[in-house]
């Protein structure tokens, strides 16, 4: 008899716990299968100087570098942009850009207006390199090591907090052996 | 009634119209493969739509990618591998059965069996409860008399 009253309560509590966990997960963050895999190779014209190229080899020149996927039409890119500028000024880590599905004029104008935190940005007009890198929402930021392995991927805008909590430890660890 | 049936049929015909693709194929078999593949792959931007239904930029690009790969003679398996290498098994509406996806595959059936079991248990208890105190001979006679009087 008692069980009849306790059982629904137990089931209800279990459901609440389940929903609480479910609601706190972020379905937008799909783990990338590319983590700890070799970065896909690419060979793109640069945004500002179409006659020059940006290739995967540029990333592996450094012990660790960032590849930030951005576009002039991307609102969240505006949001993270001041932080990227700050990070570029601090020279803590080289930042490369992947300009994703954008128009060249718009991209150049965007960099002129808000500042250019990138060493170089590759111009991925039709988004094919983006597909190879598993990009599905801009902005995204990849951490690539000297061997060309993708060590971390952040989806969504960067911020001082995200940097400190998630990316900086990975970057520091990779720089550790060199500095 | 006839009118509303007509409206419903009209709605369905529009839905079919909308899913016809703008891509050209060499054979009808290629086209049907394209349709199946783009319906089985999930769009990462609008996560509850497949690539065929979504008009997000990425879905358009991935449709183009599938189209190119089919024309290049790639098998369905190769195309699905291409997608999972980049976007993970998340894009598959029918993920392979592994330890990590076992719950997805058997979960609903397990819940059905569990629910059915609980229901059966409750029903049995009820039946037991009603049979626990059968009427005595005298009571049965009394009941029969009462029913007779009513007639």
- Domain hosting B136: range is 100-150
Q: What is the pLDDT of residues A4-43, one digit of tens each?
A: 788 889 999 999 999 999 888 877 777 788 999 999 999 9
- Domain hosting A80: range is 32-176
- Do B30 and B89 sit in the same domain of this protein? yes
For residue A126, the chain B residues in CB contact (below 8 A) are: 61
Q: Helix or strand or coil: residue B42?
A: strand
For residue B61, the chain A residues in CB contact (below 8 A) are: 101, 126-128, 130-131
A133 at the B interface (CB within 8 A)?
yes
Query: Global pTM?
Result: 0.77
Interface probe for B, chosen from A131, A133, A140, A150 (most Cβ of B below 10 Å), is A131
Residue written as token pair 């960032």: A66
Strand arrangement of the beta sheet that strand A64-70 belongs to = A121-124, A95-100, A64-70, A140-145, A150-155
- Do B81 and B9 sit in the same domain of this protein? yes
What is the total count of domains within chain B? 2
CB atoms within 10 A of CB A137: 18
Q: What is the pLDDT of residues B4-57, one digit of tens each?
A: 777 666 666 655 444 455 788 999 999 999 999 999 998 888 888 899 988 888
B64: burial class by Cβ within 10 Å (0-12, 13-18, 19+)? middle
Classify strands A64-70 and A140-145 as parallel, antiparallel or unpaired. Answer: antiparallel
The enclosing domain of A57 has a CATH number of: 3.40.30.10
Instruction: State the helix-helix crossing angle for B76-87 and B57-71, rounded to 10 degrees.
Output: 150
Residue written as token pair 């895999």: A37
Q: Helix or strand or coil: residue A2?
A: helix
- Give this complex's ipTM: 0.81
């Amino acid at each position: 008899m008692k069980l009849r009253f306790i059982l629904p309560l137990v089931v209800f509590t279990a459901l609440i716990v389940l929903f609480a966990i479910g609601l706190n997960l972020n379905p937008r963050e799909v783990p990338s299968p590319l983590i700890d895999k070799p970065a896909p190779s690419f060979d793109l014209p640069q945004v500002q100087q179409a006659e020059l190229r940006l290739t995967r080899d540029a990333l592996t020149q450094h012990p660790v570098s960032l590849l930030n996927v951005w576009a002039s039409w991307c609102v969240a890119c505006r949001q993270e942009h001041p932080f990227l500028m700050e990070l570029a000024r601090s020279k803590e880590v080289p930042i490369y850009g992947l300009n994703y599905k954008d128009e060249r004029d718009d991209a150049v104008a965007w960099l002129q207006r808000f500042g250019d935190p990138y060493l170089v940005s590759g111009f991925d007009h039709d988004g094919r390199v983006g597909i190879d890198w598993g990009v599905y929402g801009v902005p995204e930021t990849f951490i690539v090591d000297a061997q060309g392995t993708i060590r971390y991927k952040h989806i969504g805008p960067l911020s001082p907090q995200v940097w400190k909590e998630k990316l900086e430890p990975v970057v520091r660890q990779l720089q550790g052996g060199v500095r | 009634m006839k009118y509303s049936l007509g409206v419903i049929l009209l709605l369905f015909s529009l839905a079919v119209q909308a899913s016809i693709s703008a891509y050209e194929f060499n054979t009808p078999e290629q086209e049907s493969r394209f349709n199946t593949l783009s319906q089985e792959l999930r769009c990462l931007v609008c996560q509850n739509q497949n690539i065929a239904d979504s008009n997000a930029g990425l879905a358009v690009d991935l449709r183009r990618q599938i189209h190119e790969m089919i024309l290049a003679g790639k098998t369905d398996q190769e195309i699905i591998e291409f997608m999972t290498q980049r976007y993970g098994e998340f894009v598959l509406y029918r993920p392979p059965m592994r330890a990590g996806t076992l719950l997805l595959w058997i979960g609903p059936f397990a819940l059905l069996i569990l629910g059915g079991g609980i229901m059966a248990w409750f029903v049995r208890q009820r039946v037991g409860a009603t049979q626990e105190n059968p009427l005595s001979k005298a009571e049965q006679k009394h009941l029969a008399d009462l029913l007779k009087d009513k007639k």
